[in-house]
Amino acid sequence: MEQKHFFVAPGSITRFFSKPVTTLLLALSLSAAALSHAQTSPSAAITATVRGLPDFADLVEKVGPAVVNIRTIEKRDPNAAARSEAEDPMAEFFRRFMPRPGPMPSPNGPRGRGGSPDEIPRGVGSGFIITADGYVLTNHHVVQGADEIIVTMTDRREFKAKLIGSDERTDVALLKVDANGLPRLSFGDSNKLRVGEWVVAIGSPFGLDSTVTAGIVSAKGRETGEYLPFIQTDVAVNPGNSGGPLLNLRGEVVGINSMIYSRTGGFMGISFAIPIDEAQRVYEQLRTSGRVIRGRMGVGIAEVSKEVAEALGLPKAAGALVRNVERGSPAERAGLEAGDIILRYEGKPIERSSDLPRLVGGTKPGTKASLGIWRKGVPKDLVVVVSEAEPDRAARASAPRSAPGATPSNFLGLMVSELSEERRNQLRLRGGVQVDAA
């Protein structure tokens, strides 16, 4: 499934700023000429600047073959669809005036790329091969709900992929194709990334295979309301890039492209990638057991504000404020109380409240973990025995995958709700919302 919050006319390509760029280049040339007496060899300075820019050609040639296109298909019951259309007066309207995107099938011919009338293309995404025997990483939201997953390589070979496991909370999924001797990518260290460092994304935006874009790391540890500390970049990421690799200049994967920030539905220069260190931990569990096991303590937490820190005598606003302790939980047995501030977990500082769930979630159930807390102005040490989180507790809330500030669903003064998957299929839509009130 492709990324959320986009609407782009299929096949449309727009050229921007062709004339202004020419004018700008002329202005720069005139400025350089005017300063030629004040500076030594301006052309040499410009050449030196250009020489300082990275050349991505060798990197892309090396790693490109390991990046794949992922196509997902949903199978439906044609009899059920026909009955629904006969009963629904709106179905004929959508059939006539809002046909499905993509190639138009002949009355008795296949749908799209070799499909059948009973198959609905769900979307296009990206992924990358991490082992020579065919393990592929991508996003959870790319393959979620798919009945069939097709992996296409740059040499046009196609494989049906098996879903080994998928983790909604981190938006990571692991696939397996039946092949050997495949090109693969190596994991880098996302912790060593520096703000301002060059990075490259390869993927299939809008289904355009093997598209390369580049930019810099804009920020690290960016909190977006999700479970992870995202890598923020200015690399152009569009629908279809989801699940593709974010690479450093050594050709190592440092992130998985996952989502963008947008007020308009289009790319605005802010994109987010899942740190590969987090994704690697998920991959190892998915490969071993097909699911991710997380630890839990059983506390509700909040951010420590400056006012709270001053009131409690903390030297700075840091840590996780305990709002409530679940009855019978590991936290209660450890002696945690509402109002405590957790400053350290297993010796690691808790700078923000969001640091704690990641650390606890990554702890093996049954582990005795040390806690450094602040209680009524006094530091205190506790030990908690981490338990296993239930799947529903570990799952992330099913909110749209958009960063804060994205356009709200009721910005036109309409009360709307999400269309169910069944309803979208009945109306032959790939997306949209249902108007509940105006």
Residue 11 Ramachandran class (φ > 0 left, ψ -120 to 50 alpha, else beta): left
Question: What span, in angstroms and rounded, lies between the C-alpha atoms of 424 and 76?
Answer: 12
Quote the radius of gyration of the chain (alpha carbons, Å).
25
Which positions are catalytic? 141, 171, 242
Q: Please report, for residues 178, 248, 279, the alpha-carbon distance to residue 63 in angstroms, rounded to integers and kept in the order given.
A: 21, 11, 19
Q: What is the CATH number of domain 295-388?
A: 2.30.42.10
At 12 the three-state DSSP class reads coil
Residues 6+ apart with CB under 8 A from 177: 134, 136, 151, 159, 160, 161, 162
pLDDT at 223: 75
CB atoms within 10 A of CB 422: 12
Phi and psi of 152, rounded to 5°? -115, 130
Topology of the domain covering 1-11+49-76+118-291: Thrombin, subunit H (2.40.10)
pLDDT at 21: 39
Question: What span, in angstroms and rounded, lies between the C-alpha atoms of 51 and 57?
Answer: 14
Q: Residue 233 forms beta bridges with which residues?
A: 217, 271
Question: What span, in angstroms and rounded, lies between the C-alpha atoms of 11 and 186?
Answer: 33
Ordered per-residue pLDDT tens for the chain, 438 residues:
444 443 333 333 332 233 333 333 334 444 444 444 444 454 554 444 456 788 899 999 999 999 999 999 987 766 655 555 555 555 544 444 444 444 433 333 333 444 555 666 667 899 999 999 999 999 999 999 899 999 999 999 999 999 999 999 899 999 999 999 999 999 999 999 999 999 999 999 888 888 999 999 999 988 765 567 899 999 999 888 999 999 999 999 999 999 887 776 667 788 999 999 999 999 999 999 999 999 999 999 999 999 989 888 898 999 999 999 999 999 999 999 999 999 999 999 999 888 898 899 989 999 999 999 999 889 999 999 999 988 654 443 333 333 333 333 333 333 445 556 666 665 556 666 554 433
Q: Residue 137 forms beta bridges with which residues?
A: 128, 174
Identical topology for domains 1-11+49-76+118-291 and 295-388: no
List the domain boundaries for the chain.
1-11+49-76+118-291, 295-388
Question: What span, in angstroms and rounded, lies between the C-alpha atoms of 213 and 304?
Answer: 39
Q: Within a 13 Å sphere around the CA of 357, how many CA atoms are in the beta-carbon half?
A: 20
Dihedral (CA of 123, 136, 282, 267) sign? negative
Dihedral (CA of 56, 59, 65, 69) sign? negative
CB atoms within 10 A of CB 265: 16
Name the pTM for this structure. Answer: 0.67
- DSSP letter string, 227-267: SS-EEEE-----TT-TT-EEE-TTS-EEEEEEEE--SSSS-
Question: What span, in angstroms and rounded, lies between the C-alpha atoms of 289 and 286?
Answer: 5
At 225 the three-state DSSP class reads coil
Task: Report pLDDT digits (tens) over 138-166.
Answer: 999 999 989 999 999 999 999 999 999 99
